[in-house]
Structure 1
Amino acid sequence: MANEVRSSAPASQLAGAVWRKSTRSGAIGNCVEIASLGDDEIAMRNSRHPDGPALIYTRAEMSAFLAGAKDGEFDDVLH
């Protein structure tokens, strides 16, 4: 299927994904992990459920999110 858009997949089915987490993650494993899935996709999963669902984003989507986070656009969700 050309131009197929996928937004999630079981993390266990993402062959070749090398998962990594932030050094700021908590010691009890409460973190999010990411993996590059080739040229234009990045997957994100909950480290406590490594075989559970992974959300899949394009690099442009992740770039926009990270820029917003760095700019403080999402700080209000912590209150």
Structure 2
Amino acid sequence: MWPPTWRPSTGCALKPLRCTRPRRSSVRFARSSDVDPIYNGMPAKDLGTEGWQKPWSGPNGGSCVEAMKLSDGRVALRQSTDPDGPALIYAYHEIETFIQGAKAGAADFLLT
């Protein structure tokens, strides 16, 4: 953009842009502590084999949902017949709300 053009709103002329490398201080470097290694849909096997529990077992031959309470309070769920499949990760308040609703009958429509 040369020659510089006038900007009436500021009374300043625009200068041509120079391409420069960003300063190291202006670049955000991701640290491993910045990235949450536990995410919704991750392979359940990546959470390990210890700590998975079957809250109940129905008459369907052992096929049920397994749950694991994570160290930060979240809850992971997986299908017992596919332990290497995806894990669904829920915040504590999400699980709490679901369980309270199920106890109150809000999930009964799933059974009809």
Give the TM interval when normalised to the shorter protein. 0.7 to 0.9
RMSD: 2.3
Structure 1 gaps of 5+ residues are none
Q: Hey, what does 1:25 align to over in structure 2?
A: 58
State the percentage of identical aligned residues. Answer: 38
| Higher Cα radius of gyration | 2
What TM-score does the superposition give when structure 1 sets the normalisation length?
Answer: 0.83
Q: Hey, what does 2:99 align to over in structure 1?
A: 66
For residues 59 and 21 of structure 1, what CA distance do their matches in structure 2 show?
18
Letter in 1 for 2:42: A
8 A Cα contact 2:41 2:87, kept in partner: yes
Q: Which is richer in strand?
A: 1
Structure 2 gaps of 5+ residues are 1-33
Q: Hey, what does 2:81 align to over in structure 1?
A: 48
For residues 37 and 5 of structure 1, what CA distance do their matches in structure 2 show?
9
